[in-house]
Amino acid sequence: MKIKFLKYHGAGNDFILIDNRFQKYSLKNYQIKFLCHRKYGIGSDGLIFLNHSDDFDFEMIYHNSDGNQSSMCGNGGRCIVGFAKHLNIIDSKAKFLAIDGIHEARIHKSSRISLSMSNINSIKNNNKFVFIDSGSPHHIIQVNDIDKIDVFKMGLKVRSLKKYQPKGVNVNFIEKVSSNIFKIRTYERGVENETLACGTGAVASAIAMHYIGETKQNKILIKTLGGDLGIKFEYDSNKSSYHRIFLEGDINLVYEGDIELL
């Protein structure tokens, strides 16, 4: 079976994008895992199918690099909007369905995309960490020197905590740079390693810093290993909830090709 694909990345968070509007492909988890493998396959943090939708511009189906279908991926959501533009499905705006609901997006420039994210109505804070589900579950730890953190070792330890089983959790380490600038590093479940960026992690971390009083800003710059991501939101103090949340940053088409699955 020959598969046509495009590879995109958003802040170094890379994805295989496949047009599946006509249900041409029905891949097994082990096949997706093979395609995402950086030694034997194409290599990526995840694989995304763009499916047909009767009610929206398209539907996004996201798989982590372990082959399993997973929760929302923010940078993947931005990349699929660029892919939809490439396929002439949309112009400069998109409204699509993902596993956590409806998302809207706007292409500001050819490669800069902002994406609406799910509202956040529940936050857990125990002074040692903050837990937020921003479409995917995130455990956020504030640190003083992020460059010295062993993200793989510490991330795997937290990801494997009994309370987060069986699916695990994404683990974010965040350092304050200024009133509205933070650096983060993320261990992603399903990838089971540190990634260069994580969109839902950037959103969750920005919201966490606002919630615990580390910033009063509602426009925050998150610096990842792979590039900068902008987060903006509105806060309802009466309900301690966050809405009109947007994730913004550049995306890049890396290459396109065909691969034969035996």
Instruction: Output the 3-class SS for 161-209.
Output: CHHHCCCCCEEEEEEEEECCEEEEEEEECCCCEEECCCHHHHHHHHHHH
Question: Cα separations (Å) of 114 from 74, 119, 180, 248?
Answer: 10, 15, 18, 4
DSSP assigned state of 223: E
Question: Cα separations (Å) of 7 from 63, 113, 117, 165, 185?
Answer: 14, 16, 23, 31, 23
Contacts of 120 (CB under 8 A, 6+ apart): 132, 133, 134, 204, 207, 241, 242, 243, 245
Catalytic residues, by residue number, are 73, 198
DSSP assigned state of 210: H
Could you give the CA distance from residue 207 to residue 213 in angstroms, rounded to a whole number?
Answer: 10
